[in-house]
Structure formats: structure tokens, C-alpha cells
Structure 1
Amino acid sequence: MGPKPVVTGLSPKEGAPGTKITIRGEFLGKDARDLIGLIICDSDCLLSAEWKSPTKIIARTGPSKGKGDIIVTTRSGGVGSSTVQFRAYHESIGPLKESAVWIEESPMGSLSWGRRSLAPTKYTQEDPLGLSIEGNVKKLTEDLRDIFPESSGDLAQENFSPGWFLLEHHNATSFDDLKAGLSYLRRKVESQRDGQLSFLKANAGAVMDQLATLMTLRDKYEEDMAETTEPIFKLEKAIKESIIESNSLFTDVLSRRDRADTMRAALFALSRHKFLFCLPKSVEQSAKRKEYDIVINDYARAKNLFGKTDVPIFRKVLEEVDKRIIGIRKELHQQICQMPQSVDHQKKLVKALTSLELFQNGLAIAQELPETDAAWDAIEARSNYLDETLRTIFDQHAARENNQLSAKQRDANDAPPRVLFCEEVCEIAASQLPDLWRLGQAYFTGELKGLSDPKPGVFKRIIINSIETFCSYIRSAILSVSGQRNNHLKANIPVWPATSNSAILQFIPWISQCLRYVRIAYATLIRVDLPSEVLDIIQKLINQIRLFCLSTIFKKAIDKIRRLEEEETWNMGAVPDFPGATNLPNLFEEIIVEHLDEGLNACLKAEIRETSLLEPQSEGLQQISAHTAEFLNTFCDVIETLAQCDITQQTPLVCQLAVGLAGTNNLSNASQSNADDKSWRKTMSWDQKILCCLSNCLYCYRQFFAHIYTVFTKNGYPISKIVFDNGRVRANDLFENIIESFVNEKSEYLVASIEPAMYIANQFQWDLVSSAEGLRPYAHECCDNLVGVFSEVFAVSPLLLRSILEAIVQTVAEELNRLLTCVQRFSANGALQANIDIRFLRDTLQLYSNSKAKAFFAEALEAIPQLSEDGERHVLRVLAKVKEDMKLHIMCFSVQNP
């Protein structure tokens, strides 16, 4: 929109109707087409306007009266303003003044005795008061018109005002003079009342002379008539004959003249009304150039000027223009429904079509076209185009994925078709849905109001349907791989074609990128100020994708946790407070922290108008809690898998303490080696790996899982502590199961070696013992094997000593009790020997004996015959000697807190 027109000067500033004036100012139009209105003193003068330049217009005034503004209206600037005014007035027309109307000339005024004047001298009125006006300054006529707007100072006018006359002619006359003038006027009026009789008396001689003259004129006329009667008849006959002859001579000339006059009149009419006769062609040309504003303005101008005319040729031209406008309306309606196009262009077309429909409303020719709501048709066309575009994009990318599946070749770095589909669909939604909404708002606010009433309910359904269609396509592409293929999908939305597991695995890392596309489209729609009901549909979709994305991140973490078995290096220096614990928990924590951070940044951080996924009792919190429990259980499964390695790798028990000590040194040296040295992994025995797994379980139960709970809390995951308590229970159960398995394996060797060592050596019999001066080999075997177990466990994790040794000592005590209770007869020395062996083992293993082990040792001693005092002293002496000799063994089992 350009600057508004401003009128700053006029020439002349006043005049009668039809006065030619020159209008000067600024921004009075770019060209003649741009000038669409000219008002002078509330009278439309556009037809007589002649545009010269943007600063000059020439026009003729209309039939208005009084002062008024000059208002210029242009297409580029709109309605303008005026800083000057024009005064229009109606002149009094005399018989000698040219005028376009008939002037009644008969009432020329009369003399004092009623005779007509011979000349229009009365129009120059003498002073009726008989006063001199020399030196009197007349008041300006413009000022008097302002004071007496409906009056006049002319004595001959019907609206004569005495006040105007006095102010104009006697502005400086004193009051006394005016009173004298009044007396003069009264005397003059009284003298005129004497009548014609007094006049005749005063002029009797002149009257008689006039009568004599009239009689002489009569006599002369009668004489002339008698002498000239015959010549007059001859003259009359000659004149008639000359007229007939002239008609015969000039008939052809006159006919040609009439035809020429007719043609000249027609050409004049064509020239004068050139706008109307050229209108059918001009509207078609303007329509082809897409200049619909010009079409509307020209059509409106023709309707205003010739809409009510009765001239047949004008009516015929108008009917032709109406037919052309009908064709333009059809073309406009087709263009409105053609997509794609911008909203502004579509609104322009709708406004043009609506304006043309309003101009033709009520015409008979308008019935050829059915009544349509152009704005609503534009809304439906844009909505249908959106649906068709989404379906076309879906078919293209679905076919592309099918082609890739059949070809089985795809670059791993290229985005899968699902990702490209999500990106393109989000771009379409972010561009077309706002356009559809803005078009609807223009329709309901009245900007595009047509002949029909608005349909807000239907438009709301269209918007919701478009949003649901967009969300359904996204769900079909993204959530189909999560087992939610048919959830929340519209009936007419196709399902993404089934694909291979490899294609799904290639797509899953791109889910966070798809979520970013949807969020960008959502932010765009929020700025459009859509209703909350509509935005909630997209928000629900985003929450579902966020949950699915978070689930895929956690599943990826679970897969990495499962592969920790391959990354176990059996490096036992990772946890200072839990010797024997490997670097496996630290690797587990790294995976957890990495994926918690990824999930937080990609899914959990709520963006604009998004809600938290981890509200209490929410579905998101339940899913994350389930995944967290799966983290802990999977890690426990990894430990369990590592503990179930080949049992044939276990180290056989021997009876030499040196071998156990040597194993301790080797294990210590191995623990100092590089964790990544695979040769060290091969040197690890089954026993040592089991002990490391037990240490890891104990670490998880006591500290690690509680630490993982704090990691989740610090990263913004409000997981219930019950989940981690259940994980600790799972770690403790695994610890008990591994302990039980380890103890059973160790106890099997220990128990299996006791009976052969007791009876097979030298065919030993308890009733044939010759002397009791030391320990039997089976007691040495038990002690040495337990020391071997002690050294092996102590070298890996002293924290496990009590848990393992108590169970093994209980098994050994049970086996010794069984063997001794099965002895049928003891000799005296046999009883002494049995007491020495059992008491030595009982005293040595007292710190690692539980109540059951102690009970088994007591039952074994009860199965041996009672000793005499000498025998008791002998046993004590031998025990003291044996304990002195086996001080090193006893020291292993005397450490309270290793």
C-alpha cells in the first residue's frame, strides 16, 4: 500500500456547477487506471476527471452547493485527504447570459404604473433609500454568504435579505441617515399608490399626441394593405415553389447529411463510452494476466454507471460482460481448488471470486453457476491435498524399502526409508498445516466471508483429522517395529510393510532423529496457536515416540551388558574395598551412565509444551523401572554365566601346603599383570574365576547396586528403590547359589579323600592301632586341603573365607562324624588316636566352625570310647606336640578378620 493522496491546491476555488477546475497535490495516482474516485463537495466527479500527472488532475464540478473537500481515491494509496476547500454556488441567469437551461424572460420587472420595461435596466437596481454610498466600504460577499447562507442581497430575488443589502451597501451609514432613507422609501411608495388617473392628468397632452399618431399609423396601414395584397400572394407562391425545388435538389444531400450525422453521433457515443464497449475484451485480457483487481474495479464501475440504463446497446454490452464474468468465475474457482499454491494467492483468488459473485448476485445469468462458498472450497481443497500428499509420500518410501529388501544391498551410512519418510512428512505437516489453519482463520474472521454461513464444527473436524492422519503415518513408520503396529492408527491409514530384522536393527539407531523431526514440526504448529485439543494429539504421539526411543536406548544398553561376558579380563584390583571384585561392575556402570545420559538428552528432557515421562504412576516410569530391573538382572545373569565355565578347569586339591602357597604367589603376580593380556585369562583357574564372580556378587549386594541407584537419581531418573532392593536380592541369591556350587565341588574332593586316607594306607584298622604319637595321614590330608582352600580364597578375596570355609568345614565334620560312628570297635590306642585327630581338627577349625560343625565334632568324640586319666594326659601331650609342629597350619585358621 502506497502513500495516500493529498490535495493541496485548487484553481479556481469557487464556481457554479460545471466549472472546470485544476486540482494539484501529491500522490494523485500512478496513472489513469490508478485513479478510482474523485469527490468534490460530496459530489462524484470521477467521470469528468482527466488525470494528467501524479500531482495534477483536471475535472468539472457537479451539481453541489456550498463548501466542501476534494477527496481523491487511488488504488495504490486508498482514500486521501484535502487541505483546501471548494465553494459551489448557483448563479442568477439573466436574458443576456449564456446558459445551458431555458430562462424565463417575461418577468422583466414593471414601471411604477405597471408598464413593461423596454430594456433590462431593472437588473441594475438603484438605491431604494436615496442615500449616497460614496466612501462606503462594501463588505466582502464571501463573508456575507457565511452570515446569510440561504439568502441574497439582490432585490429581485425571492430570498432577498434586508440585512445583507444594508451590510453590503450601507456598511458605514449612520443610524440617522438610515432613518431618513426609510422616510424616503415610504414617501416613494405612497406616491406610487396614486394610480393611473393622476398620471393621466399630469400627462394629458402627451397622451393625446400618442393617440393621434396611432390613428395616423392605422390609416397608412390600411392604404398599404390595399396596394400590396396581390404581390404578397405572388411572393408566397414563389416561396413555396422555391422550397419544393430546393427540396428536390438537396434530398440526396440531406439524406447523406442525416446518415453522416447518425454515424457521427454513433462515433461520438463510441468515443464517449469507449470504456463500456471495450470492457468485454479488457476483462478477458486482465483475467489472463491474473489482474483480478482490475477486473473487479472495471466491472464495478460499469455496474455503477450503466447498471440501470435503458439504452438497448448498453444493455447488450452489459449482458456480454456478464457472460465473460461468468467464465472468469469458473476459471477462478478452478484455480482456487488447484494445489499447490500459497495461502496468500489462494486468499486473493477467493476474494476476487467472492466480489464477482456479490456483483452478479440476483442476476438471471448468475443462475447458470451453482452457488458456491469459495473460501470453504479452498479449505477443503487444501485439506484433501494434504491427505493426498501424505499418502503419496508413504507409498513412495514404502516401495523404496521393499526394493531395498529385494535387492538386499544398502549403504549402512544412508538413512533408512522410514527415516526419510518421517523427515519429509514432518516438513509437509509443518508447512501445510499452518497454511490450512491460517486459511480457516481468515474464513471465520470474515476476511474471506462468502455467501454461505461459516462451518466452525466441520473445520475443527478437518484440522483434527489432518493432525490424526499425520500422527498415524508417523506411528505406522516408527512404532510398527515396537509391537504397537495397530495402536491408534486410523482405519484408512496403510500399515508400513513388514521388513526384515536387519532392516529394523538399522532403523532403531535413527529413532532419536525421527523424534527430533516430529518435535520440530510440533514447535512450528505451536507458534501457529492451534487449539490445545489439536496439539494434545501430537503431544501424545511425541510421548509415545519418546518412550519407544528410551526403550530402544535401554535395550541397546541391555545388549551391551549381555556382551560384558566377552570383556571380562578378571582384573581383581578394580574395587579396593572388595578384593577379588573385577572391573566388570565398572564396565556395567559405564554402560549405564552412557545410556542414561543419552536417554536424558534425547527423550526425557521435556521441550516446549511437553510433559515429563516420569510422573508418579505414569506408564513411562513403569517402563523405565522394568528396564532398570532388567539391567540389574542381566548383569547378574552375566556373572552367573561367567561362573558356569568349564568345571574341568578347576584345580585339583593336593596335600601339600607349598602348592597352595605357590598358587597364592602366582595369583598375586597375575593380578598385577595387564588386564587386557589374554594369556592371563587363560591361566585363570575355574576356582579363581568362581571366587571373582562371588566377589562381584558380594560387591553388588553390599554397595554397587546402591551406588547405581544414586547414579539413576543424579541423572534425573526417579526409579523406586524397591527395584534396586530386588536387584540386591537377586545378587544375594546368585551369591548363595554360586557358593553352594563352589562348596559342593570343593567338598566333594575333600570328603572323597578322607576315607581312603583313613583306611587304605597300610590297611589301617581302629582296633589294631599299636601306638598314638601323632596325627593320622587322613587328619593331615584334611588340614592340608583346607589350608589349600584357605590360601586360594584368601589370595582372591578374604571376605569370602568365612562363607566358604564354614560350609566346607561343616561338610568335613559331618563326614568325620559318619566315619567314626561307623567304627565297630576301638582299641585303647585306637581311641587315643581318634581323640587326637578329632580334637586337633576341632580346635584348629574352631573359628570357621558353625553350630552344625561343632555338633558333628561333638558326636564324633562321643562315638569314641571314653579315655582314662592317663589316656587323657597322653592325648593332651600329643596334641601339644602336634600343634607345635603344625603351627603354620593353625595360624591360617586363627585369623579373626582376614
Structure 2
Amino acid sequence: YAEVETRIEALRELLLEKLLETPSTLHDQKRYIRYLSDLHAPGDPAWQCIGAQHQWILQLMHNCKESYVKEQKGKELFVPMLELEPDARPSAVGHLGQSASLQRGSSCQAAREDAWRYKAPQQVVFVDKLTQLVVSQLPNFWKLWISYVNGSLFSETAEKSGQMERSKKNARQRQNDFKKMIQEVMHSLVKLIRGALLPFSLREGEARLYGGWEMKAELSGHWLTHVIQTVRLSSESLTALEIPNDMLQIIQDLILDLRVRCILVTLQHTAEDIKRLAEKEDWVVDNEGLTSLVAQFEQCLSHALQALKPVLDCRAGEPSVFQQQRTQEEVCQLSIGIMQVFIDCLEQLSTKPDGDIDTAHLAGDVSSPDLFGSIHEDSILSAEQRLLIALSNCRYLERHSFLNIAEQLEKHGFQGVDKITQVSMESLKELDQRLFEMYIELKADPIVGSLEPGIYAGYFDWRDCLLPAGVRNYLKEALVNIIAVHAEVFSISKELVPRVLARVVEAVAEELSRLMQCVSSFSRHGALQARLEICALRDTVAMYLTPESSSSFKQALEALPQLSSGTDKKLLEELLNKFKSSMHLQLTCFQAPSSALLKT
């Protein structure tokens, strides 16, 4: 009898050893547990098996991390991946879903048959492998527990026995212990992924245990999106096991953090891409006065938002990525930053030294008055032309691009879009005004500066001059210079002409008014000459008069003695008509299109 007992004990030990071996199938585990049950093995071999499986899964996870960290420090890995249809399951997760028999038809589409190889960051490969490992091992672990709870581990027919009843009682007592095991696996899974992708979210002690990766550069939004898809599908597979949601909440928290990080990283990289757009400016101006830079800016931002769509969209049970106030503020600031980067890009390009820009390709317009030689003949853009192109781009941004972008941001669920638009518009208008003032200074100052020397050329004296014979050359030269400004602006952007011409006229009218008010006295002929020239200028630029320039012309005329005789008035009218007739061709640019057409 003693020998029989010894042999039975040896068999028990052998069976227990076999039971605790890993890896092992659920079928073998059940078989060994039933043998041990039949042999009335002491203790609770089934629970020991569950504990061994738990430790084995944890060890597999950490070994997986260590091998990939070592691989990363040694050499880069080429990993075969599948080109995916939109919303398709990543290949690794697709495979693990099938192996666990948990794949749900609606959760993914079939990957394309033809695979192609490309280099994936080691952390991404690791997350694919880690999730594959967990989702392939956890189903058997969970089924082992369910079999333990319902007693089917001990009998295929689930017949009642004292052993089965004791097992069920043990299972009820150990529910909390098993829950802790599942939670430990979930925590390890999440912390290992955080260690690879979000190391800053771990405490110092955890970082040493779960991290160890070389962070040469943060993953791009593209790879983070892939990881999010992988973790989401893993979560779906685990949910299908009917693991309670409270045990899986930690995975949902990870997904949310990854989504937030992906958005922030994508916006940061988008800002960097937009900053580099300055290098691509070719200065080719279309018929609306725009270069391709504006379209490239819109396209760059549009592509970024489109790439973020799977991340921004909420899966079942997922909260909005913007639920936290801090996230809203960070995204808002990054969005404003993107707009500001492009505004800075425009300013940088518009104020480059002449030598930094080699060629210019301006789209000529056959209707453009080009009185002083084609501005397109010179392959070097002038500072004035660059300012005009920048002003034209600014105008389009304000009226179209920023509003289109705001609409896209709202469509994708961004918060604080009004603030983003308002701050960006204010910054854009400030740049626009600075560039405009620079252009006006370059163009108006020389014209204004030429008036006084021109008026007093040849020792001209308002108190001692001949009867007027016509408008003097200084005013004609000033008008020709204003026409040159018109031609330059018109050749780049017709829309900018009224704004620029109105401001140039204001500057000239203000200077003319100042000069008239500085004259101590006029002779009869001098007063007539002054009135002729003031009226000639005012009537010529009437289309571009503003309240400010009208006021300046009025003040200039009020500084003159009134015409006392009908003869002087008649002479004034004749000389004005003579001036308009002799310079009819040159002055057509100052007329409304319809009236100019009628007179040609």
C-alpha cells in the first residue's frame, strides 16, 4: 500500500509539473487538472495553474519589451507590414484577432493581398507584437478562469461532485484575486506601451521598469495613428471576451492619451512643415495676384486635419479628445501658432534682401498699362514687387483662407475656433499694415519729396510770375510717377490698386496743401497758376479721393485768393481742358473702366 501511495504521489507531482509548464493549451490544462482531481491532489492545482499562466503572460510581455529595446540599440529592423484600406485592421492585430477567434466582421476590412516592406519605428513594431501577444494569450487565460468558476475544469459533463462544489466555492472566494491578475496584465500592457510612446506619463520608478527606449525623435502623427488603431482593435478583442469594462478602462485612458498626443505632435510637425514652405516660394503670380504659397499652406493644413480624422473621431465608448480644458487650450495655441508661422513666413519672404531672390515670374496682363518698360524684363524682383505680392497673399488669406480653415477646424470638432480666427486675423492685419506702410513709404515719399523742388524750379515765385500757359512739368512728372505706381500694382493685383492709389494721393495732397499754406502771398497770376495745378491734380485722381485727401485739396484751395474776374475763371477752365486733352492717354488709368472705354 505504501508503494502505491508513493507512486500516486509521484504521479501527482509529475502531473502538477506538466500542468504548470508553459506554454500549454487549454485542452492539456483541463486534462491534467482532471487527472489531479481524480487522484485527490492536495491544495488547488487549478488555481495554481491560473497563477502560473498569469506569471507567464507577464514574463512574456516584459521579455518582449527587453528584446525590442535591445534590438533598437543594436540595429534597426525592417518589418513587413500590409498596406491597409481605410479603417483596416493593422496586419499584426488582424492576425492576433484571428488566432483568438475574436475577430468581429464589422471591426475591420480585409488587408490587401500584396504586402510591401518599409521601415517601421521599433516602438511601433513592439506595440504591434505586444498587443498580439496579450490578445492571443488572454482568451485561454480567461476561459481557464471561466471553466474554474463553472466547474467544467473537473468534469466534461459538469456532473456534480464534492470536488466540483469545493472548486466553485474556492472560485467565489478568489474572484478578487483573479480580478487583480487581469488588472495586473492590463496595467503592464498599458505601462509598457506608455514606456515606449509616452514615457513622460510614467513615474520615475515605473520608467525604469517599463521604459528603456532610446528616444532620438518622437514618433510622427502617422505612426501614432497606426498605434492608436492597433490599441483600439486590441481593446475591441478584449471586450469581446466579456471582461468587465472597469478592468479595461485603463486601456481607454491610454487610447485617449495617445489620441491627444497624436493631435499635438501632428500640429507641431505641421507648423514645422509650413515654416519650410518659404523655401518653396517660386514667386509665380496668377491672375488674382497670388503665388502658390497660399494654396500650399491650405493644402498642408488640410492634409494634417484629414490625417487626424481617425484620431478625432470617437469609437464606441470613447470620450471626445477635447473633453479636457488643458487639451483644448494646447490645441488652440498650436493652431494659432500654425497660422502665425505662415504669417511670419510671408513677412520673411517680403523683406528678404534683393540678392536672396533670383527669379520672378509675374503673370502679365495685356490690359496693364506698362508705360516705362516691362517690369517683367528684369529677372530680379524688386523690394516693392515682393511687398505687393505679400500684400496680395495677405488679402486672400484674410478674405478666404483663414475663413476656410476655421470652417475645417469646426468640422473636425476643434474648440475655440473663434479665438484661433480672431488672434490670427489680428496678427495678419498687423503684418498687412506694416507691409503696406513700407510700400507706401517706398513709393509715395519720392513723389512727395519731388513736389517742393519742382514747384520752385527756376527760381519760381508765386508773387511774381507770368500768366499761366498750362500745368507745369513738376505736376506732370508727379502724375507720371503715380501712374507708374498704378502700373506696378495693377501688374500684380488689380484689387490692390484702389487702396494703394488712395494712400499715395493722400500723401501728395497733404504735401501740396502744406506747401500752399506756407506761401505768404500770391499775385493774381500766381493764384491762378496754383489753382490750375491743384484742380488739375484733384480732378485727375478724383476716382481715388478719400475724405482725408479731399480735405487736403480743400485746404490748399482755401489758402489761395479767390478768382476775381470771369476772364480768369474762363482761362482756368480752358487750361484744365487743355491739360486733360493733352494727357488723355496717360490719365486713362485714373478713370473708371466704363468711362475709360467710352473715351478711347
TM bucket (normalised to shorter chain) is: 0.7 to 0.9
Residue segments in structure 1 that go unaligned for 5+ positions in a row: 1-317, 359-370, 406-411, 651-659, 671-679
Cross-structure match for 1:548: 261
* Separation (CA, whole Å) in 2 of partners of 1:401 and 1:663: 67
Cross-structure match for 2:296: 587
> How much has 1:710 moved relative to structure 2?
4.6
Cross-structure match for 1:387: 58
Cross-structure match for 1:756: 453
Cross-structure match for 1:661: 369
> How much has 1:430 moved relative to structure 2?
0.9
Amino acid at match of 1:420: V
SS at the partner of 2:370?
helix
- Checking the alignment, whether the CA contact within 8 Å between 1:768 and 1:827 is kept in structure 2 is yes
Q: Note closer, same or farther for the CA distance 1:616–1:320 as it changes in structure 2 (3 Å cut).
A: closer
Aligned residues: 529
Residue 534 of structure 1, aligned match among 247, 270, 276: 247
Alignment of 1:239-638 (within 5 A): 318-357=1-40, 372-404=43-75, 413-448=118-153, 453=170, 454-480=173-199, 484-486=200-202, 493-501=209-217, 504=218, 509-573=222-286, 579-600=288-309, 602-607=310-315, 609-611=316-318, 613=320, 627-638=334-345
Cross-structure match for 2:89: none
Residue 544 of structure 2, aligned match among 845, 848, 868: 848
Cross-structure match for 1:279: none
> How much has 1:741 moved relative to structure 2?
2.4
Q: Note closer, same or farther for the CA distance 1:752–1:487 as it changes in structure 2 (3 Å cut).
A: farther
- Checking the alignment, whether the CA contact within 8 Å between 2:228 and 2:255 is kept in structure 1 is yes
> How much has 1:509 moved relative to structure 2?
4.2
Q: Percent identity?
A: 27
Range that drifts further, 586-595 or 781-790:
586-595
SS at the partner of 1:775?
coil
Q: Note closer, same or farther for the CA distance 1:554–1:783 as it changes in structure 2 (3 Å cut).
A: same
* Separation (CA, whole Å) in 2 of partners of 1:717 and 1:666: 50
Q: Note closer, same or farther for the CA distance 1:571–1:682 as it changes in structure 2 (3 Å cut).
A: same
Q: Note closer, same or farther for the CA distance 1:663–1:543 as it changes in structure 2 (3 Å cut).
A: farther
* Separation (CA, whole Å) in 1 of partners of 2:262 and 2:35: 50
Amino acid at match of 1:844: T
Q: Note closer, same or farther for the CA distance 1:516–1:420 as it changes in structure 2 (3 Å cut).
A: same
> How much has 1:470 moved relative to structure 2?
0.3
* Separation (CA, whole Å) in 1 of partners of 2:43 and 2:464: 125
> How much has 1:663 moved relative to structure 2?
6.4
Residue 643 of structure 1, aligned match among 334, 350, 353: 350
- Checking the alignment, whether the CA contact within 8 Å between 1:698 and 1:731 is kept in structure 2 is no
Amino acid at match of 2:536: F
* Separation (CA, whole Å) in 2 of partners of 1:718 and 1:876: 65
CA RMSD of aligned residues (A): 3.4
Q: Deviations over 1:612-659 (max 9, x none)?
A: 646777777666555544444433333333322336899xxxxxxxxx
- Checking the alignment, whether the CA contact within 8 Å between 1:472 and 1:488 is kept in structure 2 is no
Q: Note closer, same or farther for the CA distance 1:750–1:486 as it changes in structure 2 (3 Å cut).
A: farther
- Checking the alignment, whether the CA contact within 8 Å between 2:410 and 2:417 is kept in structure 1 is no
- Checking the alignment, whether the CA contact within 8 Å between 1:469 and 1:493 is kept in structure 2 is no
Cross-structure match for 1:782: 478
- Checking the alignment, whether the CA contact within 8 Å between 2:239 and 2:245 is kept in structure 1 is no
* Separation (CA, whole Å) in 2 of partners of 1:432 and 1:664: 82
TM-score (norm 1): 0.54
SS at the partner of 2:458?
helix
Cross-structure match for 1:773: 469
Cross-structure match for 2:101: none
Amino acid at match of 1:779: L
- Checking the alignment, whether the CA contact within 8 Å between 1:767 and 1:827 is kept in structure 2 is yes
Q: Note closer, same or farther for the CA distance 1:848–1:728 as it changes in structure 2 (3 Å cut).
A: same
SS at the partner of 2:131?
helix
Residue 704 of structure 1, aligned match among 388, 401, 418: 401
> How much has 1:718 moved relative to structure 2?
6.1
Q: Note closer, same or farther for the CA distance 1:841–1:663 as it changes in structure 2 (3 Å cut).
A: closer
Range that drifts further, 561-570 or 846-855:
561-570
TM-score (norm 2): 0.78
> How much has 1:804 moved relative to structure 2?
1.4
- Checking the alignment, whether the CA contact within 8 Å between 1:476 and 1:489 is kept in structure 2 is no
- Checking the alignment, whether the CA contact within 8 Å between 2:12 and 2:39 is kept in structure 1 is yes
Q: Note closer, same or farther for the CA distance 1:823–1:495 as it changes in structure 2 (3 Å cut).
A: farther
- Checking the alignment, whether the CA contact within 8 Å between 2:384 and 2:442 is kept in structure 1 is no
Q: Deviations over 1:377-429 (max 9, x none)?
A: 22222222222222222222223333459xxxxxx943222122112211111
* Structure with greater proportional helix content: 2
Q: Deviations over 1:480-507 (max 9, x none)?
A: 4xxx443799577433444324xx36x6
Higher RCO structure (Cα 8 Å, ≥6 apart)? 2
Amino acid at match of 2:149: F
Q: Tell whether 2:392 aligns with 1:695.
A: yes
SS at the partner of 1:420?
helix
Q: Tell whether 2:572 aligns with 1:883.
A: no
* Separation (CA, whole Å) in 1 of partners of 2:207 and 2:120: 29
Cross-structure match for 1:892: 589
SS at the partner of 1:770?
coil
Q: Tell whether 2:534 aligns with 1:835.
A: no
* Separation (CA, whole Å) in 2 of partners of 1:522 and 1:681: 64
